[in-house]
């Protein structure tokens, strides 16, 4: 079945460091890909998405590119802030459905 | 205004009890969901409803029964609670159709003792 694999955390960085969180997926057809973020004590919020191969999603300095050849959707940010500390979830939505299949989440901790 | 609201935020109850979690969305969405997040933060879909009709039931035990009185509400009733039901339950909603953004509530932390 369809699935998402994320790197295990926690990822611990100093402020202004470069961030990469790896995400790969397994799916039939052409899924849509998402990154959601969960701040402490809150629900999930959509961070960015991409709906077809080679699309780049971007928001708040975060970027991810839909790579069909490597079945990947890695999240990157050039300079993280303390306020970026949260749990980040990679997810896919199988073709022509509206359900989300999530990875296990990666906790990011940014220190000043 | 809160887009997707769940009540209660915390729920502590004994094994064997029956409890309900309520969810309401004011976004005008047609599709609503329940997701379960376990102690390791793993999130898995339980149900989805579209216009009050059940669309997805991901092999959830029969003790879990969703109810959608109208398309703005999707409640979750759980019978005979077990220790393994302890988790955070998230309600979400979206417009109908693929690739649309899901909006999540703040979650209900259920603890069964």
| Per-residue pLDDT at B101 | 85
Burial class (CB in 10 A: 0-12, 13-18, 19+), A69: exposed
- Chain A CB contacts of B33 below 8 Å: 99
Residues B27, A98: Cα–Cα separation, whole Å? 17
- Chain B CB contacts of A55 below 8 Å: none
| Per-residue pLDDT at B42 | 87
A18-47: pLDDT as tens digits: 999 999 999 988 899 999 999 988 889 999
Of A42, A87, A93, which has the smallest distance from its Cβ to B99's Cβ? A93
Interface of B with A (CB under 8 A): 4, 31, 33, 35, 40-45, 48, 56, 90, 92, 94, 96-107
A64-91: pLDDT as tens digits: 999 999 999 999 999 999 999 999 999 9
């Amino acid at each position: 079945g369809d699935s998402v694999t994320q790197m295990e955390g926690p990822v611990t960085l100093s402020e202004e460091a470069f961030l990469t969180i790896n995400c790969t997926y397994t799916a039939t057809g052409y899924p849509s890909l998402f990154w959601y973020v969960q701040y402490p004590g809150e629900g999930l919020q959509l961070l960015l998405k991409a709906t077809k191969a080679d699309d780049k999603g971007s928001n708040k300095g975060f970027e991810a590119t839909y790579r069909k050849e490597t079945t990947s959707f890695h999240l990157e940010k050039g300079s993280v802030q303390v306020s970026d500390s949260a749990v980040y979830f990679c997810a896919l939505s199988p073709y022509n459905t509206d359900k989300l299949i999530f990875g296990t989440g990666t906790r990011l901790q940014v220190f000043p | 205004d809160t887009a997707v609201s769940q009540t209660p935020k915390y729920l502590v109850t004994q094994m064997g009890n029956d409890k309900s979690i309520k969810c309401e969305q004011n976004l005008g969405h047609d599709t609503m969901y329940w997701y379960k997040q376990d102690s390791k933060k793993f999130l898995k879909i339980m149900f989805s409803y579209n216009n009050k009709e059940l669309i997805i039931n991901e092999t959830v035990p029969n003790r879990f029964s969703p109810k959608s009185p109208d398309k703005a509400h999707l409640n979750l009733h759980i019978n005979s609670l077990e220790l393994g039901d302890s988790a955070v339950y998230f309600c979400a909603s979206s417009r109908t159709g693929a690739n649309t953004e899901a909006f999540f509530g703040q979650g209900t932390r259920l603890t069964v003792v």
